[in-house]
Amino acid sequence: MNILIAQHKHKQLLKLVLIGLMLFAVSACASDVNQEENFPQVSDPGQVFTLDDLLKTTFKESSNYSTEGLPGSSDVSYGFLRIPGGDPYEYEVRFYKSHQEAVDLGTPLAIEGSGETAILSKSDSTYKEGVKNRRMACGSGVGGGARSGICSKFGSYAIFGNLVMLCEGADKTQSVERCGLLATELMTNE
């Protein structure tokens, strides 16, 4: 009798383990689908965009930077995009002749200007123009006081065609998602 009870419990445990594995497999597949739906960090829609193309969207330019210190770039625009009903998000958009030049020449300086390891000091950065707009106050102050540190405003970047876009966000995922908003505006306007 004890043997039958032990076998029954063993079968129940085995069923629970199998159900758990199936649920894990289904959720893993679902998360892969969601990742594929996200905006890719590097993509080429097969178009070459100009500053005029950007300015025809709902993007509002605050500054147009010099390209000195940014090899291969023809224009740099800093501004914001407000999606209807949402908050404005800030961007630094760098223009190159081609997608390949954006990837080859733009990637190292996009990494330098965004993310957790961004170089936010004008004296240390390679591309000095607009450094103050790439940083923001962060961290908590002592006793709930003012913020006490400097962080990158741009959590990451995306390369879309011939553009390198530094996009506002708390982290890489949020930044790349917001780069996707600007890319959608560009494609909608074409």
pTM to 2 decimal places: 0.77
For 152-170, how does the pLDDT look when each residue is reduced to its tens digit (9 = 90+)? 999 999 999 999 999 999 9
Q: What is the mean pLDDT of residues 90-115?
A: 98
Higher pLDDT, 67 or 138: 67
pLDDT computed for residue 141 by the predictor = 60
pLDDT of residue 189: 77
d(CA 92, CA 82): 14
Give the burial class of 19: count Cβ atoms within 10 A of its Cβ; 0-12 exposed, 13-18 middle, 19 or more buried. Answer: exposed
- Exposed / middle / buried, residue 102 (Cβ in 10 Å: 0-12, 13-18, 19+): buried
The predicted pLDDT at position 18 comes to 42
Nearest of 46, 94, 48 to residue 71 by alpha carbon: 94
Match 């097969």 to its residue by tokens: 46
What is the percent of the chain where pLDDT is above 70? 75
User: Structural domain boundaries of the chain?
Assistant: 1-37, 42-189
Average pLDDT score over the chain = 85
Confidence band, pLDDT 50/70/90 cuts, at residue 149 = confident
Query: How far, in Å, CA of 7 to CA of 76, rounded?
Result: 71
For 121-148, write each residue's pLDDT tens digit. Answer: 999 999 999 999 999 988 766 656 665 6
